[in-house]
Each structure stands twice: as structure tokens, then as C-alpha cells.
Amino acid sequence: MPLAPLHEPHNLAPIKMAMSLNPELPQVACFDTAFHRTAPEVEQAFALPYSFYEEGIRRYGFHGLSYEYIASVLSERAPEIANGRVIVAHLGNGCSACALRNRISIATTMGFTALDGLPMGTRCGELDAGVVLHLIQQQRMSAEELVDLLLAALACSGSPASPLISANSCPATIPVRASPLRCSAIELPATSTRSQQHWAALTELCLPRVSVRMRRRCEA
């Protein structure tokens, strides 16, 4: 469960329970990473020796089930851009963005784990690897301390992101406004004034942080 420690224990628990109650019952798993397998290899690979890529150390991307749904309704909601180049965002307690071309994923902000990319409810998002090295070498932090820090950094910090993204956040999925990509926003109904405010705060915080790498991939 190292790729998604906040998620996988909860996903596996009912599977194990069902197996214990009825071992013969067929179970089907829908993986959140599958939608992003259409991204080109150069997008999935890190700038590391290729042997690491072959071992499975690559950008997997997440929130794929959400993006698959968005792709399936784009032609209804925004037919003028559905088959073009679009950046969409999944904004909730976990946040990410995905570049689509012809409704197919070609890049996403999350990488090897669900920790990468945009700042989130508790996860710090994109982080210079040198910061981790500094914390290990200079601050003498252990692996366990780093896990606690990186997975819960915003929950107890003074970061401007912490009051904007909470565990009670209301997920939203919207295309980003970006004139070079000919994108426009799809209006999704908000359930309350609070959710509208939360949506606006998330958009202001997260969308400007969509990586240059992903924007360039969508523009290519």
C-alpha cells in the first residue's frame, strides 16, 4: 500500500471482508490509475535511469475514475471543446489536474503516488526533492516522521492552503480557464453557499499551480 497509504487500507478492507464471508464471490477492482495509461512514455517516465521505469517507478496518476467520467460527459456539457485540448481539475480533499486531448489523458499532476501535484487537504503536493534530502540530512528526520509530515503537512500548518481545503471539502471537477488551450469552465451545480465558496477558494489556490510540464504537454 505504499503508493496511496491514505486510501488503500480502506479500499482493501471490504474486499478482505467479502473474501472471508464468501471466498467464491467474484470481485472486480477498478483502478484509479488506469485512465492515465494513455499518456506517452516520456510523460510517465522520470528523469532517472530507465531501469527504474522498468521496475515500476513512474508517473501513474490518480483520480482516473473521476476523469474518465468527465471525459464521458464533455461532449454533452462542452461540445465545442470536448475533442480538443482541455485541462480538467478534480478538487476535493485530494486535488489534481489532468490534460486531455480528444478526451484521452496525456498528462496529470499526480505522479508515482497521490502525494504529488497540487496542494491538498493534508498532503503537501509538489515538493522539491531537495527539501526531503535536507530534512533527512540536516534535520535528521526519520522515514516515519517524513511520512507524517508530507501526508499531513497542511492539516496542522500555517500554510495559506490549510483553511481553504478541509476534510469536509466538497469535491468538484471543472475544466480550467486557459486561453492558449481554448478551455472554458463548465458550470456544475453547487449544493450550498459554503460549497460555492469552497470551490472558489480551491480554484484560486490550486489551478495557478498546474505544472508547466502538464500545460506544455497539452499545448504540444
Catalytic residues: 32
Residues 6+ apart with CB under 8 A from 101: 84, 85, 86, 218
β-bridge mates for residue 91, sequence order: 95, 172
Distance CA 220, CA 212 (A): 12
- The x, y and z cell numbers of residue 194, run together, are 459554503
Sheet holding 95-101, edge to edge: 104-108, 95-101, 85-91, 172-175
Count of C-beta atoms within a 10 Å radius of residue 102: 12
Residue 124: name the closest of 93, 98, 150, 163 by CA: 150
Report DSSP state, residue 85: E
Q: How far apart, in Å, do the first and last CA atoms of the chain sit?
A: 34
- Residue type at 111? G
β-bridge mates for residue 210, sequence order: none
- Residue type at 131? V
Count of C-beta atoms within a 10 Å radius of residue 52: 12
